[in-house]
Amino acid sequence: MTGVPLSWYLILSALLFALGVAGFLFRRNIITVFMSIELMLNAVNLSFVAFSYQLKQVNGHIFTFFVMVVAAAEAAVGLAIILTVFKNRETLNVDEVNSLKN
Amino acid sequence: MDVILFLAFAAIAVVCAVNVVVQTHPISSALSLIGVMGSLAVLYLLLGAEFIAMAQVIVYAGAIMVLFVFVIMLLNAGAESRRGRSLTAQLLGIPGFFALLVLLSYTVLRLFPDAAHVKFGGFTGGSAKDVGKLLFTEYLLPFELTSVLILIAIVGAVVLARKELE
């Protein structure tokens, strides 16, 4: 009984992060783009906890905790911004929210 | 047993994450993301991070995703339209995804060829007691600063989302 190699956890984290990047770049719905950011944050949290196991230190858990707090604050502000954008423009498509471009 | 549990929940996480990206309706993406977060909580438990696993379920799957689902329902968000896809995205999307994945995996395998093998119970320092001890001694200042950050975020969210008064 040898257990799971730590690199499997890190590769799973890399896979989730790459999927988050793909969702962030290719999706058009602003809410789905925001959820892709949450997916990336979760992937990074998994690496933090995995390295915490490797080094036998709790510091990685603390950083994961802070990432969660920042993600909660970010979700509150981001969703408020999404609400305001929808109220002003009646759309959730990121391609149509381009007033800074011109 | 560790390997079976890891593979099962890693498979659930990956399938749900793919579903987040490919579903056109935001509510399907949100529910898949809850699946990812739940299976990640189990993986945290396998890594000995009890407190983080519970916080993951309560804060992420409980609070943040409920906020997302509320906003999706409030805005009555429909399925995404599929028009206006750029040719560059279609041609470079899948190769770019695999390039990023291979690069990250190669770096991991190069840097950690003989890293530890994860066994359940191999690290027991992740209980609420241990995390709290460190959080309230060494990381006290960052902890207090996050409370200010949360307060600012709440005020900002209220200011952004309130109804305009004439």
Task: List the Cα angle B93/B99/B101 in 5-degree steps.
Answer: 105
Among A38, A40, A51, A81, most B C-beta atoms within 10 A, so best to mutate, is: A38
Q: Do B101 and A69 touch (CB under 8 A)?
A: no
Q: What is the pLDDT of residues A12-41, one digit of tens each?
A: 999 999 999 988 888 888 899 999 999 999
- Distance separating alpha carbons of residues B90 and B69, to the nearest angstrom: 29
Residue B61 resides in a domain: yes
Q: Rounded mean pLDDT of B20-49?
A: 91
The share of chain B scoring above pLDDT 70, in percent, equals: 92
B-chain CB neighbours of A93 within 8 Å are 80-81
Residue A80, domain extent = 6-93
Query: Which chain B residues have a beta carbon less than 8 Å from that of A33?
Result: none
ipTM for the complex? 0.89
Residue B158 included in any domain: yes
pLDDT digits (tens, 9 = 90+) for B90-121: 777 788 888 888 998 888 888 877 777 777 77
Asked if the structure places residue A100 within a domain, the reply is: no
Is A98 inside any structural domain? no
d(CA A41, nearest CA chain B) in Å? 11
Flag whether B21 is in a domain: yes
Lowest mean pLDDT among A80-89, B76-85, B108-117: B76-85
Q: What is the CATH number of the domain that holds A58?
A: 1.10.287.3510
CATH number of the domain where residue B6 is located: 1.20.120.1200
Confidence class of residue B137 from pLDDT cuts 50, 70 and 90? very high
User: In which domain, by residue range, is B153 found?
Assistant: 127-166
As a whole number, mean pLDDT of residues A53-69 equals 90
Tally the domains of chain B. 2
Q: Are residues B4 and B73 in the same domain?
A: yes
Position B17 in a domain: yes
Residues in Cβ contact with B102 at an 8 Å cutoff, skipping those fewer than 6 apart: none
| Identity of the residue in A14, A75, A86 whose CB atom sits nearest the CB atom of B64 | A75
Residue B85, pLDDT score: 65
Q: Which of B76, B65, B75, B63 is nearest to B29 (CA)?
A: B65
